[in-house]
Structure formats: structure tokens, C-alpha cells
Amino acid sequence: MTIFARLCAFKNMANEIIQNNYGDDNIRTLEGVEHIRLRPGMYIGTLGNGDDQADGIYVLLKEVVDNSIDEFSAGYGKQIQISVSDKEVSVRDFGRGIPLNSVVKAVSILNTGGKYDSKGYKKSVGLNGVGLKAVNALSSHFYVEAYRDGMCSYAEFAAGKLVHDGMKETKEKNGTYVKFIPDENLFVGYNYNIEFVESMIKNYSYLKKGLTLNLNGTAYKSENGLLDLINEKMSEEPFYAPIHIAGEDIEIVITHGSSYGENITSFVNGQNTRDGGTHLAAVREAVSKTLKEFFKTYSKKDFDPQDIRQGIIGAISIQIQEPIFANQAKTKLGSTYMWTAEIENEDGTRSSEQGPTIRSFVNDFVKTNLDNYLHMHKEIIPALQDKIVSSEKERQEISSIQKKTKERNKRSSVYNKKLRDCKYHYKDKLPAAKEELRELTSIFITEGDSASGTITKARNAETQAVFSLRGKPINSYKESRKKIAENEELNLLINALGLEEDIEDLRYNKIIVATDADDDGMHIRMLVLTFFMKYHPDLIRRGHVYILQTPLFRVKNKNTVRYCYNAEEKEAAIKELKTKVEITRFKGLGEISWDEFTGFIGKDMRLDKVRLSDEEPISDIMEFYMGKNTTERQEFIIQNLRTAQELEDVNI
């Protein structure tokens, strides 16, 4: 029998065994919230350890607070008390309280809730009956009390399993109390970053005027809504006083600053949609269109939308019925319409009725109210026009330079040598899941032929691209935008990323800076990040920029290999492997063979997300790290120097 025939026979035999073993015992029904514990990512996105604002522990807190916010929006309870102490979190609201006989069901049985028919909650965030169930399922301890008219219904759970429940009299005011501890078996080594929590609570206060949120004894309350948000987060003097317009189901604030890019914070039903969506796209279009038409009439100027949006700072909040989000984390709005409802016809049949599109709703509101505002506040018009004219002049100069550089590079084939693209961008026709596939795309920014060659061989060519820098890029903080446009390296990088005109044209979901773990590598990393921070800060704000962590050490004996990312992991590996241990210190990416590197940039690769909060002044950060304040920076370095032993450990 040939080898091929043997393989076929083995395959048939294996299939027969699998089929024969597939019976009633293989069919399983998951009870209660078991499926959430089994597949947590489907419900809350990334688990994480609390280092990122999108990590699951913040989603759990948000799910509980969202319910309390929905009660306030429905007209019940003007205060929410929140406590975050070490691992334990509690939330107390003064709304109507969960119906007493439904407490256990409401927190432990999927597809159970009071928000499906849009009667109890007209414009709530949570509409799929999962929120509290997810918190319960993913907590090692979960406790809930509902207070209604002198009675209290309570229930206690462990890992989603009911421990005990009951009913008792109470003197507590109506409302709901939830206390939980996220399960450390799922959220390994987690800790709450109180700054992330404070940011979340502040946003709630801006969006819900009249609501007091008390976090660990500090009260947050806003009198002016989104106007307070913009005034607080601005780290620069705006060109004119912020424009604040509000109507039923919509509130918008805009102004312009001197920074590059756009910085528009967006919300839906009180939910901070960090990744934007249809409402953010609508307000960008509406503001550009309205200002374009206004200046056509006012000063006979025909401005490009790019120039109108350059340096814009703002926020939008809309209220819609039954919002559709991309995932349970609710960071991007996918809804097209303000509302969709099923109606019963006279003949007994049912049909779907839709309200206005979000695009038309926002456009109509902005067109009327922004235009009226400008006519009523003509004092801001000169400053606004000067800003747009300045952006137009700079863009035209830069565009001309970039065009010449691009043509020169094409003729010399420099571009093709520096970018090794992924196959995703070569496919003319992609499956229906194109957007999902695009989410998997990434580009590694490396330095030198050795490192880029290693990553190119190790990468997944379907979705991972590689861009190779030649030496150190220029310090963007010290240079004008014109000088940046004339720089071949950065010009080619802009082109590779697709950022010549609009951030929405970004070709890759993740931009990963991959440099050596030495002084030169760290300096190159800082120079690349400085470029992004100054000229493309939206990339960082939207969570597209990452730092690749690669192992510093390889510890092995005759039978086992361990890759270690720090001195602590190295010491643990030495203790585990015990005898005849060989230690290798990687000083550069090029020293790691491509077949080893495959494991470091696969699905489990370690990435540090580069963060930039709305409150952090970019200019101050860049001045400290990249400016001329040599003495101040030296003092900082001296105060944070590693000990001699730490340096010795790292450089073994």
C-alpha cells in the first residue's frame, strides 16, 4: 500500500471513530450564565488585567452603572454611589429597584430583562439582557439587593452559581445595590486603575446634567453638559469660545485648536463610543458641510472639508432607541436609523417602520443650529475663518511637496523596498467579512534590514505588513510640518499608512513599533511616537498604536526552552529548569531567528498600547521628552535610574 493510500485509510478510520463516538452524551445544554464564563470574550471583549481602558473589569463596572444611568434617564433617582476598593466594587442607585420577584432571574438567566420592548427604557445603553448576567458570571463573588416600598430582595452568587437568596423588610430608599469581585481566574493579576474609573464617571456626569455620581467619596456633577467636558479637557487655548448647541436627543460642542488632527469625543445614550461609528461620521460631515456653505455665502470662500476639520476639538452625544453596537464593549455605533419599530397593521400583519437616519438627523440639526449660532455670534467668525485659511495654506504646501516626493520615490522604487505589504490589500474582492478581516491587519515599523528581514519571514503575510525605517527619523517636535513632508522616511510612512488625506483611510488597524531593546531602539521608538503624537494624535487616541514586546532572554536546558521578557521571568525560568541552564541575552531583533520570532508576533504576541487621554496636553509631554529642557530631563532620569544590580540583571 502506498503512503498516500495509508493516509487515506487512516483518515477514513479516524472519521468513522469520531462519528461512532458522537451521541446523545455529546449534546450539552449550558445552564444560567455558564456560556458567559465559557466564552467571556463574546460578551465583554478583552479580559485583560486593567492596564487598558477597554479591559473587561471596566466593562463589568460600566454594565452595572449603565443600569443605574438608565434609571436616572427614565426619571428615577438623582444620585449614584460608586465604590472601588482594591478588588471589590459596589454601586448603589436610588431608582425604582429591580422588581422583587425577578431579582435572581434578572442577574442569572440569559435573555431576561426589562428593556426588550422599549417601554421600560426608551433610550438605554443595555438592550440585550446580558449586562448584569455578565458581571455575575465573571465575578468570584456577586451580591445584589433590590429595595422597593420597604421590602428588600437579595441574592448572593459565586462564579455565577446561586449561593442563597431571600426577602426581608428594609428601611432603605428604593433602588438597587450591587457588589462584586471580578474573578482572578479570568482577569489574571488585575487591578483597577482609578484614573480610568474617574474618567468614566466624569463622562457620565457631563452627559447627565442633574445627576450626582459619588466615587469613593468624591462627587461629580455637571451643570453645563458637554461644554464642561470640552473646557476641562482642552490643554490649549482655543481660537474661539466653544460653540454649544443642543436639542432633543442631541448635543454638540465644537471649537478649533492649534494641534493637528481631529479630537471629537462621541457618546450614544451615555455610552462613550471611543471607536466612533455612524454618529461620529455624521457630525464630521455635517460640520464640514455647514461651515463650507456658510463661508461660501459669508465671504465667498470655498473651503475643503479637510481644512475645516483640521484642529477641531469637540464632542457629540445622541440618544437613540435600541442602538446597535459592534460588540458587547459598545465602543462603536453601527446603527443606521434613530429608531426602528415593528407596527401592527389593520389586517393583523406586522411591518417594520424606521425613523430618520442618524446621518440625516445630525445633518439637519447641525445645518439649522450651527448656521443660526454663527449668525448670532458673529464675533467668532474672523478667528474661525483665519484658522481654516491657515490650515488650507499649509495643506496645499504639504500636498505639493508630498506629490513630488511620492513621484520621485516611485521612479526609484524606494517605496516597494521599504514596505512589504500584506495580502489583504492585494485582494480585489474580499468576503462579506471584509471589515472583520481588516480589524486583523497590522503593520510593523522596524529599523534596519536585519530586523525587518526577520519579521518579514516570521509574519502572517495575509494580514501583517512590514515597513522598514533607515536609521533614526528626524525629531518631529522640533521641525515644521513642511520639513516633515520633505523627509523621505516619514513621507513614505504616511503613504504606507494611507494618511495623506483622512484618518478614515488608515490601511491597518494596528500600527506596531518594533525596535531593539537597546538605547538606539528606544530612541527610535520615541522619535516615531513623537511623530504620531504631533501630527497624527488621532491614531493614538483611537487605540491604533502599539509597542511590540520581544523577549530579552532565552533560558534553556537539554529538553526545554523558555523565552523571558524581563529579569523576573528569567529568574523563574532558571529555577524551573534547574540544571545545565544556558542563558542567551537578545540585544537586537535581528539576533532572534525568524522561526523563533513566529511565536512572538502570533495571536499571543505581547503588545503595549500607547495611550493618550483627552486631558493630557500633548505639547507638554513632547516638550518634556523631546524638547530642550535638558536639566529637568536629567533630574528625572537620575531619580528613576535602576540600581547597579538591576542593570546587571538586564545586561546578562
> Percentage of the chain with pLDDT > 70?
83
Nearest C-alpha neighbor of 538 from the set 275, 251, 290: 275
Q: pLDDT at position 52, please?
A: 82
Dihedral Cα 486, 487, 492, 493, nearest 10 deg: -120
C-alpha 320/C-alpha 324 separation (Å) is 10
Is the predicted pLDDT of residue 430 greater than 80, yes or no? no
Query: Chain-wide mean pLDDT for the chain?
Result: 84
Q: Phi, psi (5° rounding) for residue 460?
A: -90, 105
Tens digit of pLDDT for each residue in 552-607? 899 998 889 999 988 889 999 999 988 789 998 887 787 888 888 888 898 788 89
Q: Phi, psi (5° rounding) for residue 33?
A: -110, 20
Residue 513: other Cβ atoms inside 10 A: 25
Is the predicted pLDDT of residue 130 greater than 90, yes or no? no
Write the class of the CATH domain 395-650. alpha beta
User: Has this prediction a pTM greater than 0.85?
Assistant: no
Q: pLDDT at position 640, please?
A: 66
Domain ranges in the chain are: 38-196, 226-340+356-389, 395-650
Q: pLDDT at position 328, please?
A: 55
Q: pLDDT at position 341, please?
A: 77
Helix (H, G, I), strand (E, B) or coil at 132: helix
Residue 583 identity:
I
Higher-scoring residue by pLDDT: 641, 258: 258
Nearest C-alpha neighbor of 49 from the set 173, 192, 179: 192
Residue 329: other Cβ atoms inside 10 A: 21
Is the predicted pLDDT of residue 385 greater than 60, yes or no? yes
Tens digit of pLDDT for each residue in 38-64? 888 888 878 889 988 888 999 899 999
The CATH number that domain 38-196 falls under is 3.30.565.10
Higher-scoring residue by pLDDT: 50, 646: 50
Residue 290: other Cβ atoms inside 10 A: 20
Tens digit of pLDDT for each residue in 504-551? 888 999 999 998 877 788 889 989 999 998 888 889 888 899 999 988
Residue 601 identity:
I
Bridge partners, residue 547, by sequence: 513, 608
pLDDT bucket at 26, cuts 50 / 70 / 90 = very low
Q: pLDDT at position 350, please?
A: 81
* Interior angle at CA 292, CA 286 and CA 294, nearest 5: 100
Q: pLDDT at position 182, please?
A: 96
The residues near 375 (Cβ < 8 Å, ≥ 6 apart) are none
The mean pLDDT of 112-133, rounded to a whole number, is 54
Least confident of 111-125, 188-202, 218-232: 111-125
Q: Under a CB-based contact definition with an 8 Å cutoff, are residues 618 and 611 in contact?
A: no
- 582-592 as b/e: b if 16+ CB within 10 A: eebebebbbeb
Q: What burial class does residue 95 get, using C-beta atoms within 10 Å of its C-beta: 0-12 exposed, 13-18 middle, 19+ buried?
A: buried
Is the predicted pLDDT of residue 7 greater than 90, yes or no? no
pLDDT bucket at 20, cuts 50 / 70 / 90 = low
The residues near 626 (Cβ < 8 Å, ≥ 6 apart) are 475, 477, 478, 526, 530
Tens digit of pLDDT for each residue in 304-331? 999 999 999 999 999 998 888 865 567 7
Q: pLDDT at position 516, please?
A: 84
pLDDT bucket at 415, cuts 50 / 70 / 90 = low
Query: What is the secondary structure of 191-203 as a DSSP string?
Result: ---HHHHHHHHHH
The continuous run of DSSP H or E covering 76 comes out as: none
The mean pLDDT of 158-168, rounded to a whole number, is 94
Give the length of the chain: 652
Tens digit of pLDDT for each residue in 202-219? 999 999 988 999 999 999
C-alpha 412/C-alpha 401 separation (Å) is 17
The residue with cell 524581563 is 566
The CATH number that domain 226-340+356-389 falls under is 3.30.230.10
Q: pLDDT at position 140, please?
A: 96
The mean pLDDT of 355-371, rounded to a whole number, is 95
Q: pLDDT at position 32, please?
A: 58
Kindly list the distances between the CA atom of residue 188 and the CA atoms of 89, 120, 139, in Å, as whole numbers in the listed order.
Answer: 17, 37, 12
C-alpha 597/C-alpha 68 separation (Å) is 47
**Between the ranges 73-87, 114-128, 392-406, where is the mean pLDDT highest?**
73-87
* Interior angle at CA 361, CA 357 and CA 367, nearest 5: 140
* Chain centroid offset of residue 597 CA: 27
